[in-house]
Structure 1
């Protein structure tokens, strides 16, 4: 059975493609979801695990995870636990809620560098200009009141 595309899949796919092109992505353990948060709020979420070998070399014994959801102010990161799940969210690594994929590559390089300068985070970066119209999938989410118009417009740049 084919899976239904999620409203933020084009954006998440662009970020994952940029990370993958640089050899920074653990694709098998990265995913997107659009689910109810305790039955109250629909949450667009993306979880990206970075290359485990490079993460270990940088001091993350069980890996490092990037996390995005549409209610936060940008991408966050945290070390993974022994079972690969996110241990905790350490801090924002981007200042823009829908940061350019190249900004995530820059942030991932800093995180995966054993001598990385974490003080260089968050990457302030920019967002792409929104598309002239909001695509139907994002419009439906907007109409349902699950996302603000600015977020829908920012995500539309990747549709």
Structure 2
């Protein structure tokens, strides 16, 4: 995590705790940040790295051969200010995505998870399990919001503290727009 408290920190910590309890402990524990690209597009983000195949920390190079997730799985959360939505950037608010890690540390194009932006920790665990089992497959650049292999709709419900989190993110967004 960053050295200063960000609005999403308690939420992402709750997600990490739920994943750990479910036997999917993050390998590179979560980190959160506030980010900016192209000078104006600001957002909050968090990254959770999972090792569903047990190969990231393995010293056995051959363990990756044939593993379903040889280099890991990323769960990505972002909250966007929406200030560049007219230029094709995401609308204001939160979104969860996933991406498979590659050997060089980069990742495949992220795919939206079929969960609410402020999904409950249990919903994230359930969705992660479905991704790991390949019930939800990665999409591609041209099919944003379409989950290949998944027709079960939105998974789970919202986090019980979603209103508090939303207010904190909105306050952060207002501060960013003012500066």
Q: TM-score of the superposition, structure 2-length normalised?
A: 0.64
Partner of 2:130: 110
1:67 corresponds to which of 57, 71, 76: 76
CA shift for structure 1 position 101 = 0.7
Aligned to 1:15: 15
Tell which has more relative contact order, 1 or 2 (C-alpha 8 A, sep 6+).
Answer: 1
**1:107 touches 1:123 (CA, 8 Å); kept in 2?**
no
- Aligned partner of 2:46 in structure 1 is 46
Higher-Rg member (1/2): 2
Corresponding residue number in structure 1 for 2:156 = 125
Residues 54-93 of structure 1, C-alpha deviation per residue, up to 9 Å, x if partnerless?
Answer: 586762232111111013663111111113332221x222
Which residue of 113, 116, 125 maps to 1:96? Answer: 116
Structure 2: gaps of 5 or more residues: 56-63, 81-89, 137-149
What count of residue pairs does the alignment treat as equivalent?
Answer: 142
Structure 1: 5+ residue stretches without partners: 147-159
Distance 2:97 2:165 in 1: 26
CA RMSD, Structure 1 to Structure 2 (Å): 3.1
Change in CA separation of 1:121 and 1:28 when aligned onto 2, cut-off 3 Å? farther
- The alignment status of 1:87 with 2:118, answered yes or no, reads no
